[in-house]
Amino acid sequence: LRLLRFDALRTLITSRKPIHVQYAEVFGPHTLRTQMLAHSSLVCYIVVARLRLPYRQRGRADVDKWWSDVISRTAVGAGPNPQAVESRLGTIVPNLMRRFSSRGGYHLFDD
């Protein structure tokens, strides 16, 4: 056995709030509606996954770039001014990365 992988999301852990709501909290005043974010985040994740297969790259910088692309496309797809989003990506991306790689974004199921 060389590699064993499993997805913990929705089996061992779950998001504290819906993911699009957490995105809206970090995006702040640049989003229009959380429902637009919900649709945009799903579409953008699929688009970026097809353009660049997730996690095939090597190193943390490549993973951050992949997620930065998803986050940027999600924000712009939800309606705010692309220049406003671009100017805040340096803050938005690290905040979302930190949230979703810690207890801030997820919690263990009670059972």
pLDDT tens digits for range 61-102: 777 788 888 888 888 888 777 787 788 888 888 998 899 888
- For 36-57, the pLDDT digits (tens) are 777 777 777 777 777 766 555 5
∠ at Cα 72 (18, 106), nearest 5°?
25
Listed residue (25, 23, 27, 22) closest to 85, CA to CA: 27
Which tokens belong to 60?
């943390």
Q: Looking at residues 8-26, what average pLDDT do you find? A: 82
Domains of the chain with bracketed CATH: 14-104 (1.10.150)
